[in-house]
Amino acid sequence: MVEIHQIPVLADNYIYLIHEPASKTTAAVDPALAGPVLAALNEQTWTLTHILNTHHHGDHVGGNLELKARTGCVIVGPRAERDRIPGIDVAVAEGDHFSLGEATAHIFDVPGHTRGHIAYWFPESDSLFCGDTLFAMGCGRLFEGTPEQMWRSLGKLRVLPSSTRVYCAHEYTQANGRFAVTVEPDNQTLRERMAKVDELRRRGFPTVPSKMGDELATNPFLRPESPAIRRSLGLMGANDAEVFGEIRRQKDRF
């Protein structure tokens, strides 16, 4: 089992520290900045050994080079974006396993937000680090991919155990939820979740990680088969990828 420490940075990013106590291995997931990571490591008395990047955007790799210079950590990132990940040492892709001491991450290719985006799943710790692919009640924008691609990517994540903790890279939950209720206004579970999210945010608490089971029940981007959503979009006969694509287009304009 690993310990996970959450660091809020910039306007709405989360960096995660994953600590595997048996080997004293510690990884930073998507370090936007070096300073807050160094401060948190110091506070936890952990030593950085790895960086795990999900994709090449600056708010996910901005701290790579400074952290590597200061700690000598090994940088792991997506093979399909290896030219765009500063300081990358180990390039991984779908089907690879990466060991963090005694903890093992399974790698998924999840293109859509970017061409080479990957996700790290730690089955023994029931934890998924999915960057900007799946968000609490939302999903990433399609900067470098098609709706079909993103839908296939989300399909790899939504079949993980419903107990899986979803560690996404942004605190977008409240805005995502406001959109979600317009797509599926009669989803009572969604409304109840939204009330809890509003309360957490009012008190300044994170809404991340979430549970995959809650995403399956409330995240419209994982629910294109829902008859209520299809009815509200007027897409009764469309396939799941088409419904997904329409939800994504509406969110872009919301």
Which residues are at the interface with Fe ion (CB under 5 A)?
A: 59, 132
**CA-to-CA distance for 190 and 152, rounded, in angstroms?**
24
**CA-to-CA distance for 79 and 51, rounded, in angstroms?**
15
> Between 59 and 109, whose beta carbon lies closer to Fe ion?
59
How near is the Cβ of 198 to Zn ion at its closest, in Å? 25
How near is the Cβ of 203 to Fe ion at its closest, in Å? 24
**CA-to-CA distance for 2 and 59, rounded, in angstroms?**
24
How near is the Cβ of 191 to Fe ion at its closest, in Å? 28
| Catalytic residue check, 126 | no
| Catalytic residue check, 59 | yes
Q: Indicate which of Zn ion, Fe ion, none lies near residue 215 (CB less than 5 to 8 Å, by partner kind).
A: none
- AA identity, residue 181: V
| Catalytic residue check, 170 | yes
| 158 Cα distance to chain centroid | 12
> Between 7 and 190, whose beta carbon lies closer to Zn ion?
7
Total H helices, total E strands in the chain: 9, 14
Catalytic residue chosen out of the listed positions 19, 56, 60, 117: 60
> Between 132 and 184, whose beta carbon lies closer to Fe ion?
132
Q: Indicate which of Fe ion, Zn ion, none lies near residue 171 (CB less than 5 to 8 Å, by partner kind).
A: none
Q: Phi-psi bin for 131: left (phi > 0), alpha (psi -120 to 50), beta?
A: left
| Catalytic residue check, 57 | yes
User: Got the DSSP string for 90-125?
Assistant: EEE-TT-EEEETTEEEEEEE--SSSTT-EEEEEGGG
Catalytic residue chosen out of the listed positions 19, 59, 109, 117: 59
Where on the chain is the footprint of Zn ion (CB under 5 A)?
Answer: 57, 132
Half-sphere exposure at residue 220, Cβ-oriented, CA atoms within 13 angstroms = 29
> Between 59 and 184, whose beta carbon lies closer to Fe ion?
59
- Give catalytic residues, as residue numbers: 55, 57, 59-60, 113, 132, 170
